[in-house]
Amino acid sequence: MEPKYSDAEALTIDKLHWLLYLALIEIRHQGRELHNSSVFGLANLFHATPLILAKAARGESSYQEVMQSLLDKAKELNCNSWIHNGIAQMSKDSADD
């Protein structure tokens, strides 16, 4: 299932994902420099996600694959509880609406 984006829209989407990736790399670096393990850990977990999301936006993978990649990375980095708490919070907030 290929998304229907114009070339200009696709380029804008790629730029946005790239800028988010660069921002997360910078945040990860600052977390390391400042010895802030929470900031470093979250940025380390999420820094590649924008590039994976870009592939999904281009129709090269699915958003389910993006989520699975993130869950796998969270397990690898010992961040399972943060991910699952975030998902639970989203579910709770959705139920409250």
Domain enclosing residue 60, as ranges: 7-96
pLDDT (tens, 9 = 90+) of the chain, 97 residues, equals 566 788 888 889 999 999 999 999 999 999 999 999 999 999 999 999 999 999 999 899 999 999 999 999 999 999 999 999 999 999 888 888 7
Whether 2 is in a domain gets the answer no
Whether 1 is in a domain gets the answer no
Whether 71 is in a domain gets the answer yes
Half-sphere exposure of residue 53: CA atoms within 13 angstroms, side-chain side: 15
Whether 36 is in a domain gets the answer yes
Whether 37 is in a domain gets the answer yes
Ordered alpha helix ranges (H), the chain: 7-33, 37-46, 49-57, 63-76, 80-96
Whether 19 is in a domain gets the answer yes
**pLDDT value of position 2:** 62
The CA distance from 57 to 51, in Å, is: 10
Total count of domains within the chain: 1
Q: Decide: 23 and 46 in contact? Cβ < 8 Å.
A: no
Does this model's pTM top 0.85? My answer is: no
* Amino acid (one-letter) located at 6: S
